[in-house]
Amino acid sequence: MKSVRRIAVIALQNFKESVRERVLYNLIVFALLLIGAAILFGRISVGVEQIILVNLGLSSISAFGLLMAIFIGISLVWKEIDRRTIYSILAKPVRRPEFIIGKYFGLVGTLLINTAIMTTGFYVALLYDKGRLELSDFRALGAVYMILLQLALVVGVALLFSCISTPILSAVFTLCVYVIGNFLNDIRWFGQETNSAWVEKLTTFLYYLLPNFGNFNVISRTAHGESVPGYLLLSNSLYTLLYLAILISAAILIFEEREFR
Amino acid sequence: MLAVETVDLIKDYLEGFWRKRPKRALEGLNLCVERGEIFGLLGPNGAGKTTTLKILLRLIFPSSGTARILGKDIADVSVHHRIGYLPEQPYFYDHLTAEEFLNFAGELFGLPASERRRRVASLLERVGLEESRNVPLRKFSKGMVQRVGIAQALINDPELVFLDEPMSGLDPLGRREVRDLILELRATGKTVFFSTHILSDAESLCDRVAILHRGRLQGCGELRKILALGVSSTEIILEDPRPTVLKELDRYAPSAVKTGERVRLEIPSESDVPKVLEIALRHHTKLVSVNPVKKSLEDYFMAQIGKKPATSNEKEEVRTREGRV
Amino acid sequence: MSNKSNASVEGRLARRICWVIVIGGFLSLFPIQQGIDRTEDAMGNVADALYLTSGQVLSRLSLGHEGLLADIYWTRVVQYVGLKRLSHSTNFDQLGPLLRLTTELDPHLLIAYRFGSIFLAEKPPGGAGQPEEALRLLRRGIVANPDYWRLWEDLGFIYYWDLKDYANAARVFQAGSERPGALVWMRVMAATVAAQGGETQTSRALWSEIYRHADNEQVRQSAIEHLAAIETQDQIEKLNQLLARYQKREGRAARSFHELVEAGYLADVPRDQTLGLALFGLLGVKAVADLTRGVSSKRSRYTVVLKSALYLAIGSLVVVGARVLGLDWAAELYMWSSQGDVDRGQYGRAYTNAVQAVGLRPGALQYWRTLAVAKLAQRQFESLLDDHLTFQFLDGGTLDEQDAYRFALCYFYLGEYDKALSITKHLIQQNRRYAAPYVLQGMTYSAQKKYADAELTFLDILQRYPTNQAAVEGLAQTYYLAGKRDLAIQLLDETAKYSFPPGARKRFEALKALYGR
């Protein structure tokens, strides 16, 4: 129980720290501007206004969320080590896993707030465009939830890299994993097309090993008025939870061995 | 029960980018710190002082050997409830104010809110920061950050405090305050383990010191004894002695330094002193002073680290054993 | 010490838990991911939509970066086509509008016109099968880039290949050839297309052109092979004509090259050079061996050197000859590749390879047969029938039953049932154990709606070979067409008594289901 409390304290502290990052505000403002611009885009295209608005709005939330996740995630642990703030923390009765988990939840909290702000902006734009909101418009929340799952996973990847590497390298690695994770379907397809048993085995292995970010891409479906099936929400939640457990465990394994010279 | 005890502590760092080669930072350190004393870990930069402290606080791991804090193995993090630590050149979350940061530190110890409020206020006063309690840490000077660091090390009212170079970055007044604070801690029965490369601080504070050089313990013991051991010669200053006198005194004083009218004689053997005085008086030479020459910590320090490395392990062990007595 | 062990036990436990989570986690991800994949597959694809359909609006939105935007749109075109091909989709609805947008953004993006028109014009599944749309795109391109002759070339080819509109193709080739920098062969194209509407000469002109301008050895080689194939095609045609003329004048078919030479149709018999080469080698060796027979006792160094030199000379001549002629092997190789191509379904290549083989050894019947198989596969029935006389001639005046069967098949496909029947009847008469002609004959009767005759034919062969799948199917089909559905089903039911391969059973079941409906 004391452990949970310490995790909460560290998470809250990290949340406060992230929330005070000025870059975040700039990103949010930019995202809101883009969502606003979506209204404009909708106006000049005939027949697909809503589709564009939903597409662009959700894509903005996703893209800027990703930027934030990577931007804060990569410096999550590294900054503490670099600035030696971690010395006084670990000299207190804080276990290293508690520190890692606390840091993670702090950042996820930050992303939650930011996504909430952007989502509100999105609905304001939708309201402005349509004049009223219908119940069916809140189907988009399913997509927002998927975006959040995706961001949580990205933060997990960033956290893992942040335990090993400098922020710039971490950012590059995390982005790589994100991009590859989005193309996993194509990679596996490629493996099947090569007719080489080895390549196919390798790509299949990668397919199940790397985080499959393609799972969360439901934006265009949502834009066409489809709702995200419950089963997909459930299985993706489970997937994210499991993968996060793996990432955080791996981060802890690394961090436990880490020396602060 | 000892406050701190290390047994054959060895630390190797792996250096190099591709081919990592071990570089020894700590060579079989054996230390004992009694409860209730102020213990100073001395040594030049890079001697292994910070390495020792980081091993004790579990920030790095020993390559071999064991260490105990307050009777518990250092791997047992629960002992951190009872200790405080000020890192070298500390740096804290700079978006927080001093008060927020101390509060955060208190929360990590699981202190209840009322207790936290009380302690934060009293510690801020004690380190002289109550005026700047609501200023974000990024606006603090180095000395102020050092004070916050000391305050956070004391937030849990620890039995044992580790201070890594507590005086660095402080002005003379601040050093004085920290010195008083350390003495105050001893008065309330706490143990203070601090590292420094400033000998005067150690000389004026420590009950016992250990001297580290290149990862080896060069000497350890009570400061009083170390300094007393040093009374080794007597200094006699004469005014305008005749050359015949000097010639006569030559066999007792191998060194005679003339400055202006005065001549400074150093008499290595205490039994020769009356003879020298008798000769001087016989020739009616004016006697300016007679002083026993006391060795300073600095002399001792220089002598210890100037020593050639021990030729055999046996010798080393004898010396460290002496230190532990 | 107990403190220490407690602490390290705790640490080790934590580490173990982490490892279990990592490994167990990856194992459990597997079924979850599969579940997600299944759900997503079931949901299908989202409809394509092009949000902005006006190039002008887009151009304004690009804030002066029309070129960049055009490039991006061009990439989208390529991806669009690529994705459609990957998913074997034939719905290319967005291709035209995408290309229009791209070229409106940047009217000088030539690649978009050139390859875009190919994507548009090509028949599905390779392309959209919209040659008219391709014509519109290219015409816009020509208006925007009047001096670029390649667009005329592309336009010409769309008329020529896709629309078979030779008159317009020739006109366009002609107009394009007058543009600056246009290559000479545009004019040649215009001329050939106008004159013939796509015969071997156009093809030859094209391939020569390709050969001359090829910047890569493979392409050049391919051009050479195609040219050689065209050459052979011409020769085959000439030979066929020759044989036809001979038959007309002499009243009977020619039986050998010698007859043709004697009658003055051919200057010389085309020789099988390989045999000659071997003969030359053998005789030469024998001659050299005989050279010193009488004086073998005086085996001087001189004679040894001389004989060695002569052997060497003969050997080199044979080797050089074989390299120069090299025909036999090459023909054999072509034949093999052609047969492989047929097996793989690459009929075009099979045809080219077979033609090459025939070109190298026109006197060898097996290459002609390979060619016949390739032609059948390509459904070039008329062309195969043209070779009829050549087959007869090379086989010494008669036709092998397999060759005859192939010709019958051609007649059947061309709808000349009587000719097909006359061949099958002849074949059946000659060999009652050859099943294929029976089936063909039955099918021919069936096609002529002579169901009774068809039934008799099929029953005849089924008595001999009750497990001939084609015969069973043919008979069932005949019953069905004759309106005797129950008989057809009864027949298919009866097949259960005999042992058929599983593939055949499946087909029977399918047929039964079809007839039962």
Q: Is residue B254 part of a domain?
A: yes
Same domain? For B116 and B185 the reply is yes
Tell me what the pLDDT averaged over chain C comes to. Answer: 76
Q: Is residue C237 part of a domain?
A: no
Residues in chain B: 325
Q: Among partner residues C15, C21, C39, which is closest to A256 by beta-carbon distance? A: C15
Same domain? For C310 and C407 the reply is no
Same domain? For B182 and B289 the reply is no
**Which residues of C fall within a CB distance of 8 Å from A207?**
33
Same domain? For B198 and B160 the reply is yes
Distance CA A182, CA A179 (A): 5
**Could you tell me whether strands B216-222 and B208-213 are parallel, antiparallel, or unpaired per DSSP bridges?**
antiparallel
CA distance C52 to chain A (A): 5
Judged against a pLDDT cut of 50, whether residue C414 lies above it is answered with: yes
**Chain B contact for A22 (CB, 8 A cutoff):** no
Top pLDDT among C382 and C294 is at C382
Residues C216-245: tens digit of each pLDDT:
676 677 667 667 666 676 767 777 777 777
**Chain C contact for A246 (CB, 8 A cutoff):** yes
- On whether ipTM exceeds 0.90, the answer is no
Same domain? For C78 and C17 the reply is no
Same domain? For B175 and B270 the reply is no
**Which residues of C fall within a CB distance of 8 Å from A49?**
none
Best A5, A92, A103 member to test B by mutation, with max B CBs in 10 Å, is A92
Q: Which of B100-114, C322-336, C502-516 has the highest average model confidence (pLDDT)?
A: B100-114
CA distance A4 to chain B (A): 11
User: How sure is the predictor about B182, in pLDDT bands with cuts at 50, 70 and 90?
Assistant: very high
pLDDT for B87: 92
Judged against a pLDDT cut of 60, whether residue C323 lies above it is answered with: no
Q: Is residue C102 part of a domain?
A: yes
Top pLDDT among C7 and B68 is at B68
**Chain B contact for C7 (CB, 8 A cutoff):** yes
**Which residues of A fall within a CB distance of 8 Å from B77?**
93-95
pLDDT for B317: 38
CA distance C19 to chain B (A): 20
User: How sure is the predictor about B151, in pLDDT bands with cuts at 50, 70 and 90?
Assistant: very high
Contact call for residues A46 and A6 (beta carbons, < 8 A)? no
pLDDT for B211: 87
DSSP C128: -
Same domain? For B259 and B196 the reply is no
Angle at which helices C166-177 and C149-157 cross, to 10°: 170
Same domain? For B260 and B195 the reply is no
Q: Which of B265, B267, B275 is nearest to B239 (CA)?
A: B265
User: How sure is the predictor about B104, in pLDDT bands with cuts at 50, 70 and 90?
Assistant: very high
**Which residues of C fall within a CB distance of 8 Å from B75?**
4, 7-8, 11
Same domain? For C211 and C278 the reply is no
Q: Among partner residues C25, C49, C86, which is closest to A245 by beta-carbon distance? A: C25
Same domain? For C96 and C177 the reply is yes
Chains in contact with chain A (at least 3 beta-carbon pairs closer than 8 A): B, C
SS3 A183: coil
Tokens 């061309």 locate to: C414
Report the CATH number that the domain containing residue B32 is assigned in CATH.
Answer: 3.40.50.300
Q: Among partner residues C21, C46, C57, which is closest to A246 by beta-carbon distance? A: C21
Q: Is residue B149 part of a domain?
A: yes
Q: Is residue B148 part of a domain?
A: yes
Question: What residue numbers bound the domain in which C127 lies?
Answer: 56-225
Residue-wise DSSP of A1-42: -HHHHHHHHHHHHHHHHHHT-HHHHHHHHHHHHHHHHHHHHH
Tokens 């029976």 locate to: C438
Residues A85-118: tens digit of each pLDDT:
999 999 999 999 999 999 999 999 999 998 999 8
Residues C53-96: tens digit of each pLDDT:
666 666 666 666 677 777 777 877 877 777 777 676 767 777 88
Same domain? For B276 and B192 the reply is no
Q: Which two tokens stand for residue B308?
A: 């050639």
Judged against a pLDDT cut of 60, whether residue A199 lies above it is answered with: yes
pLDDT for B290: 84
Report the CATH number that the domain containing residue C211 is assigned in CATH.
Answer: 1.25.40.10
Same domain? For C83 and C209 the reply is yes
Same domain? For B287 and B148 the reply is no
Same domain? For C147 and C219 the reply is yes
CA-based radius of gyration for chain A? 20
Top pLDDT among A211 and C273 is at A211
Judged against a pLDDT cut of 90, whether residue A152 lies above it is answered with: yes
Q: Is residue B246 part of a domain?
A: yes
User: How sure is the predictor about C8, in pLDDT bands with cuts at 50, 70 and 90?
Assistant: low
Distance CA A97, CA A77 (A): 12
Lowest mean pLDDT: which of A69-73, A156-160, C254-258, C399-403? C254-258
Which of B227, B246, B278 is the C-terminal boundary of a domain?
B227
Q: Which of B106, B102, B98, B84 is nearest to B154 (CA)?
A: B84
Residues C16-63: tens digit of each pLDDT:
999 999 999 999 988 888 888 888 777 655 545 555 566 666 666 666
Query: Could you tell me what percent of chain B has a pLDDT over 70?
Result: 89
B267 DSSP β-pair partners: B234
**Chain A contact for B110 (CB, 8 A cutoff):** yes
Q: Is residue C43 part of a domain?
A: no
Residues B21-47: tens digit of each pLDDT:
788 888 889 999 999 999 999 888 888
CA distance B66 to chain C (A): 9
Residues B237-269: tens digit of each pLDDT:
888 888 888 888 888 887 788 888 888 888 887
Q: Which of B143-152, C327-336, C354-363 has the highest average model confidence (pLDDT)?
A: B143-152
pLDDT for B215: 87
Q: Is residue C244 part of a domain?
A: no
Same domain? For C11 and C101 the reply is no
Q: Is residue C336 part of a domain?
A: no
Distance CA C233, CA C235 (A): 5
Angle at which helices C502-516 and C485-494 cross, to 10°: 160
Beta-carbon separation of B77 and C7 below 8 A? yes
Residues B74-99: tens digit of each pLDDT:
988 889 999 999 998 888 888 889 99
Top pLDDT among A251 and C184 is at A251
Distance CA C359, CA C369 (A): 13
Report the CATH number that the domain containing residue B281 is assigned in CATH.
Answer: 3.30.70.980
Distance CA C444, CA C419 (A): 10
Query: Could you tell me what percent of chain C has a pLDDT over 70?
Result: 72
CA-based radius of gyration for chain C? 34
Best C12, C18, C50, C63 member to test A by mutation, with max A CBs in 10 Å, is C18
DSSP B285: P
Same domain? For C201 and C134 the reply is yes
Same domain? For C183 and C67 the reply is yes
Same domain? For C89 and C221 the reply is yes
Counted domains in chain C: 4
Contact call for residues C130 and C99 (beta carbons, < 8 A)? no
**Chain B contact for C11 (CB, 8 A cutoff):** yes
Judged against a pLDDT cut of 80, whether residue C320 lies above it is answered with: no
Beta-carbon separation of C28 and A224 below 8 A? no
User: How sure is the predictor about A244, in pLDDT bands with cuts at 50, 70 and 90?
Assistant: very high
User: How sure is the predictor about B312, in pLDDT bands with cuts at 50, 70 and 90?
Assistant: very low
**Chain B contact for A91 (CB, 8 A cutoff):** yes
Distance CA C136, CA B137 (A): 71
Counted domains in chain B: 2
B21 DSSP β-pair partners: B15
Same domain? For B50 and B184 the reply is yes
Question: What residue numbers bound the domain in which B265 lies?
Answer: 232-293
Give the residue on C whose Cα is nearest the Cα of B71.
C3
Query: Could you tell me what percent of chain C has a pLDDT over 90?
Result: 2
Residues A35-53: tens digit of each pLDDT:
777 777 666 555 556 777 7
Query: Could you tell me what percent of chain B has a pLDDT over 90?
Result: 35
Distance CA A53, CA B302 (A): 77
**Chain C contact for B75 (CB, 8 A cutoff):** yes
SS3 C369: helix
What does the pLDDT average to over C97-114?
Answer: 83
Beta-carbon separation of B57 and A95 below 8 A? no
Q: Which residues have a Cβ under 8 Å from the Cβ of B299 and sit 6 or more positions away? A: B230
pLDDT for A253: 93
Which residue ranges make up each domain of chain A? 2-257
Same domain? For C498 and C430 the reply is yes
